[in-house]
Structure 1
Amino acid sequence: MFNLIRKDLIVGVSSDGIRNLKYILLFFIFYFFLNSISYYTVSVVISYLIFVNTFECDYESDSRIFIRSMPVSIEDIVYSKYLLGVGLIIFITTIASLISKLTSLVFFRSMVLNDVFFSINIFLAILSIVLPLFFKFGYGKMKICGLIISILVYFVYGSILRMVSMIVYQVKHVNYSKVGGVYLSNYITDMTNTRYINLYSITFLTIIIFIISMYFSIKISKKNKFNYKSF
């Protein structure tokens, strides 16, 4: 399984060499021209581009022969893609956070915890939907459709996260008790709701969905056994 991850990194990242600088350029384009959403969006975009590039390389090089020569199971192939996705978003988010921390000394703010939550949740939600489709229909057929779905998930899931984040912020910073009456009642209700519905619980739900998606991908891959063109 880890050999598959290493293979993906070598083929999808290392082989690009100097062209990987495009990701740094992309970061600064987002940072300076789309600053308000750049803190979580850039990690998602770069991780997605690197991730799908591993599928693109497999598809173009027809890696079925190579994969068949390796002592790996269907489960290993699926696990490797999911683990690669998790590793990518964590690594890219960490790098983006460090860069924004350094640039914040001169330009805009640095990343905060909410940005990290947004990045990880959105990217895992995207993978949870597109990966089963890639394994089912193959990357070649789902390339454009997968991109469209990813954009939709970004906006929908991002909106949900922003709404939850805003509610939690308001509960913590609005002083309901000064007004009393119905406002105090609203405060108690909101406090109760945000205790269970917050970015932590949303992240937990996203992880559950991610695991369920992995289960379905394994079932799909076993049904399409030896259809390595999907990978």
Structure 2
Amino acid sequence: MSDKKENSTIDQILSRIYGNGRGWAFSRKDFALLGNADLIDKSLSILAQKGTIRRVMRGLYDYPRYSKWLQQSLEPDIDQVAHALARKYGWNIQVTGNAALNIMGLSTQVPTRYLYLSDGSSKTYLIGAVELEFKKARYSLLNTKRQDSALLVQALDSLGSANVGQAELQAFARYLAPDKPLPAKTRNAIARDTQYVTSWIQQAIMQILELASSEEAR
């Protein structure tokens, strides 16, 4: 293996990592088109040794988020880790419960356990002090194709219909469209993706999409 080829592969890997931004988690699988497995593994190992990326667990890395205030790297983004594992093993996954609320910014409580429904094997990983669990579920429970759709459905289900008022709807809308109105293409895609969910959740999502598509959400 020539140094030139190795350096070229590292540069391509870095370009993809930087393009995804800090917090992104990944495995060799995410760079499969850039070279053979041994070359990718060696390149990732070199970047980890340099401190550019961090090894989260065997075969999985992240580009650490950094706090200027704390002057140190932050803990891995568990949702990013979950999706990196899903890509690695070819799973479809969907976050559940309080973890969905936390990801969307509707809960300040940091979960010590993240549960994802999965069409793969049931597995549990320990990431620092956080438990990441994948639970095998029926395909019917994983029928949303978009990540934003899945988050909406699971977060609303976690809150329950009695606890979803105008303030919560506005918060969901701001998550979907923090800076500018939600594009019509995205709005229509989410609406199609959630048309067969529980009636009250579907109605709430339509209200959220209406708010996110206007200036009222900001």
TM-score by length of 2: 0.28
More strand by share: 2
* Structure with more helix by fraction: 1
Larger relative contact order (CA 8 Å, sep ≥ 6): 1
Greater C-alpha radius of gyration: 1
